[in-house]
Amino acid sequence: MHHQTVQRCIERAVAYGALAALDDRPRPGKEPVITPAAKAWLVSLACDKAREHGYPHELWTTRLLARHAREHGPRAGHDCLAHLVQGTVCKLLGQEEIKPHKVRYYLERRDAEFEQKMAEVLCVYREVQVLKKAASKAKKSPEPVAIVSYDEKPGIQAIATTAPDLPPVPGVHASFARDHEYKRHGTLSLLAGIDLLTGKVHALVRDRHRSCEFIEFLKLLDAAYPARTAIKLILDNHSAHISRETRAWLDSRPAGRFEFTFTPKHGSWLNLIEGFFSKFARSVLRHIRVTSKHELKERIMAGIEDVNHHPVIHTWSYKLAEAA
Contact in structure between 59 and 101 (CB atoms under 8 Å): yes
Rounded Cα distance, 304 and 257, in Å: 25
Q: What is the pLDDT of residue 186?
A: 95
Q: What is the pLDDT of residue 14?
A: 87
Rounded Cα distance, 45 and 71, in Å: 13
Q: What is the pLDDT of residue 140?
A: 58
The three state secondary structure string of 4-69 is HHHHHHHHHHHHHCHHHHCCCCCCCCCCCCCCHHHHHHHHHHHCCCHHHHCCCCCCCCHHHHHHHH
Q: What is the largest CA-CA distance in the chain?
A: 94
* pLDDT of 55 above 80: yes
* pLDDT of 323 above 80: no
pLDDT tier, 141 (very low <50, low <70, confident <90, very high otherwise): low
The CATH number corresponding to 114-323 among 3.30.70.100, 3.90.550.10, 3.30.750.210, 3.30.420.10 equals 3.30.420.10
Rounded Cα distance, 218 and 240, in Å: 12
**Average pLDDT across the chain, whole number:** 91
CA dist 268 to 81, 151, 201, 250, 273, Å?
49, 9, 18, 23, 9
* pLDDT of 142 above 70: no
- Percent of residues, the chain, with pLDDT higher than 70: 98
Claim: this prediction has a pTM higher than 0.85: no
Q: What is the pLDDT of residue 75?
A: 93
Mean pLDDT of 25-38: 81
Mean pLDDT of 185-197: 96
Strands 230-235 and 145-161: parallel
CA dist 297 to 58, 134, 164, 244, Å?
42, 38, 21, 29
Mean pLDDT comparison of 24-28, 220-224, 319-323, highest-scoring range: 220-224
Q: What is the pLDDT of residues 87-97, one digit of tens each?
A: 999 999 999 99
Provide the residue ranges of all domains of the chain, joining segments of one domain with +.
Answer: 3-95, 114-323
Mean pLDDT of 104-120: 89
Mean pLDDT of 11-36: 80
How many Cβ atoms from other residues are within 10 Å of residue 60's Cβ?
25
**Exposed / middle / buried, residue 273 (Cβ in 10 Å: 0-12, 13-18, 19+):** buried
Q: What is the pLDDT of residue 33?
A: 84
Q: Which residue has the higher pLDDT, 33 or 51?
A: 51
Nearest by Cα to 231 from 277, 200, 268, 265: 200
Q: What is the pLDDT of residue 157?
A: 96
- Percent of residues, the chain, with pLDDT higher than 90: 76
Q: What element of type H or E holds 217? A: helix 211-224
